[in-house]
Amino acid sequence: MLAQVLRPIHDTFRAADFPDLLIGLDAPDDAAVYRISDDLAIVQTVDFFPPVVDDPYTFGAVAAANAMSDVYAMGGEVLLALQIAGFPDDQPAELLAEIFRGGAEKVAEAGGVIAGGHTIIDAEPKYGLCVTGTVRPDALLRKSGAQPGDVLLLTKALGTGIVLTAARDDACAPEHLQATIDSMLRLNRHPAHLALEAGVHACTDVTGFGLLGHAEEMAHDVRFVIDAAQAPALPGALDYARAGQITGGAGRNREGLAGKVTVAEGIDEAVEHLLFDAQTSGGLLLAVPPERVDALAAALEADGFLAARIGRVEAGAGVVVEANA
């Protein structure tokens, strides 16, 4: 359906007519990239969504971290952001201020500035950012480029959708919710720096399409083999999945990936849910040359980040999930 909706855009704007638009039409990625000069390009992305947690400050900060993540997934740095917000007309002003404060402080942490924005009246609150960043055209991180022999590294644990669903149902331990919030609030800025230094072949951030959806987007002319046993889970996520706390987003991801992702028999159903689970402000998925993976993993772990080796890249096509890859 989305491909049909976007067809008029591709019919109107032919990639050949916009040679400085490096990413955005022919090869969609995590953000659009437009070349300004030989050594400077603009990275632009937008993301917003309804509240994922009850605390307004935390919601604003998580939404901002999530929006900025696409810039980091391209190897860029955040320059400025515009706020996008929709709220009921009876929303208390102090609540809105807290959402904006959370977003502002997260952008400040990233070294950027909020330079304005736009709000509308909406029945359901929504908040996010349109983010502009900068990157060197010769130092882009892209989804494509993974090569046979690469090792797949993941920099955050999975299961935000599962844990947040359990929290909405009052079935989540406070410490599990806090661990999930801490993960969502953590910027992908430094892992992206380390990935650039390591010369990774491909990169994306894991968000709404889940690990397997984003892996499928990266598997251009290669096969990704995911080891289900190595998939890292947020505290409590697997237990909540076994208790039935699964999301509609995971179900849509599973349906959308039918015929593109093969899951081996005998894998724990809860782990399957984890792999399809839609993430909010998830980590980076990296395709790393094998000779560089140890150094990159050590650098990530030394700075307190995850460096889970969740699979490998082979010749072939698609995504395969194995019990012990």
Please tell me the pTM assigned to this model.
0.95
Q: For 3-23, b where at least 16 C-beta lie within 10 A, e where not — what string? A: eeeeeeeeeeeeeeeeeebbb
Give the per-residue pLDDT at 2: 67
- One-character DSSP codes across 140-170: ---SS---TTPEEEESS-B-HHHHHHHHHTT
Q: At CA 92, angle to CA 90 and CA 98, rounded to 5?
A: 140
Beta strands 308-315 and 284-288, pairing class: unpaired
* CATH classification for the domain delimited by 2-139, as one of 3.30.1330.10, 3.10.20.740, 1.10.357.10, 3.30.1280.10: 3.30.1330.10
Calculate mean pLDDT across residues 254-273: 93
Instruction: Give the whole-number percent of the chain exceeding pLDDT 90.
Output: 89
Q: Do domains 2-139 and 151-322 have the same CATH topology?
A: no
Query: CATH number of 151-322: 3.90.650.10, 3.30.565.10, 3.30.930.10, 3.30.70.1290?
Result: 3.90.650.10
pLDDT at 183 over 80: yes
Any idea where the domains of the chain sit in the sequence?
Answer: 2-139, 151-322
Q: Is 321 helix (H, G, I), strand (E, B) or coil?
A: strand
pLDDT on residue 325: 57
